Chain A
Amino acid sequence: MVGKKVILLRWIWLLPAVLCTPVFAAEECYTAAATGGAVTFRVMQAGAPYTGTFRSFSGEVCFTQGRITRIDAALDPASVDTGLPELDAALKEKDFFALREYPRVTFVSTSVQSQGDTHTAHGTLEIKGNRREVEIVLRSQPADGKISVSGSLVLDRLQYGIGAGEWTNTKWLGAEVKLDIRATLSRKQ
């Protein structure tokens, strides 16, 4: 313990430099616009691919010199749109998203590696109270002063309790769910 304190003191002269860093390498944060994006999912039903969309999500992505430093995103499972109202209603119930207890799906990055316009984000995905470490590969592209971001993620719905009870039958409802993410980011005011 004494040793650690000594080391801290030895480096304390760096503190002003650390505090001033943002001045030299400012972090620019962007928010995902409500329009101009979607999160679509693809899952196998009775041996055939099925797709649906989540219309509402929000998020903040911070860049430092073109590299993503932080992603903090949330999705509203209540905005699910499969085109079949009956199915949308069923997806909000306890066997699937259990909206009353878990109104949001969240992703918070722990580390992001950026290489040009490709960003590999590691972070915690929380769905229905189940947290898992996941990797999401995103691509960013400047678009009219905004940034368009797209990426995808494959997950096992059973790890998150999506499709409980009889729906754990993966012959009829595939375990693998592919999410495609498209978002338009605007500079945070």
Chain B
Amino acid sequence: MAKFRNSEESYGILAQVLHWCVAMLIFVQLPLGVYAANLPVSLARLQWLSYHKSIGITILVLALARLAWRWIDAPPALPDTMALWERRAAHAVHWALYVVPVLAMLAGWLYASAAGLSVNWFGILLIPDLVAKNAELAPLFKALHHGLVGVLVLLLIGHVGAAARHAFLVRDNIVQRMLPAAWWGKK
């Protein structure tokens, strides 16, 4: 049976589902944000930015859930076959990948609030503003949002690159720990 909690060899169902949901949403969110922000003022821009903001709120909640779950359920330790610097780099990037999306999301939320463009989550739930409308602050939050997203993109390149290295070059079981096969194959 598939394991709900993490084991020593692999991540459990909950950690995997949260990881892949956030991964998928971030890979939709990044091009969506870039595309929408570069549209001229139009109904399409209003719609896509609205979806961008709703997805952002979703990512924030899921990212916080991942942090909480990581705290409750310790992830599998990295094997000794990895060099110390590799394990340190992996930990640093993992932690940054928990924190930076949350910060990028908060900066986006601050920007939307300061611009006066409040968020209604998929037309279901009106999200409160973090700050009052402020035309001077809005460009600063916008720049902060863009900067943090830039950092996130660099982290993702590092993360995906490292995963590819483990899967195709090092050929250890690091990547498999986050794949369903890790528990599908086992009883």
Contacts and interface: CB of A to CB of B under 8 A. Distances in A.
Interface string B111-140: 000011111100100110000011100100
A82 B116 CA distance: 8
Interface stretch (A46-54, A106-114, A121-129, A148-156): A46-54
B122 to A, nearest CB: 9
B46 A173 contact: yes
Given A83-B135, A83-B138, A90-B41, A50 B117 contact: yes
Given A83-B133, A90-B41, A46 B138 contact: no
Q: Which of A46, A83, A167, A169 has the most CB of B within 10 A?
A: A46
Contacts of B47: 46, 172
B81 interface: no
B115 A83 contact: yes
Contacts of A87: 41
A45 interface: yes
Given A51-B133, A83-B133, A172-B47, A45 B41 contact: no
A184 B89 CA distance: 64
A127 to B, nearest CB: 20
Contacts of B119: 48
Interface string A162-187: 00001101001100000000000000
Nearest to A91: B41
A120 B115 CA distance: 35
For the complex, would chain B's binding face be called helix, strand, loop or mixed by DSSP majority? loop
Contacts, number: 53
Contacts of A167: 43
A50 B116 contact: yes
A44 B56 CA distance: 20
Contact of A48 (B40, B126, B138): B126
Interface residues on B, range: 20 to 34
Contacts of B43: 166-167, 169, 172-173
A84 interface: yes
B29 interface: no
A86 interface: yes
A45 B43 CA distance: 10
B115 A47 contact: no
Given A169-B43, A173-B46, A46 B120 contact: yes
17 contacts: A45-B46, A46-B117, A47-B120, A47-B123, A47-B126, A48-B119, A50-B116, A50-B118, A82-B116, A83-B135, A84-B115, A89-B41, A90-B40, A166-B43, A172-B43, A172-B47, A172-B50
Interface of A: 45-52, 82-84, 86-87, 89-90, 166-167, 169, 172-173
4 tightest CB-CB pairs across the interface, nearest first? A47-B120, A48-B118, A83-B135, A46-B50
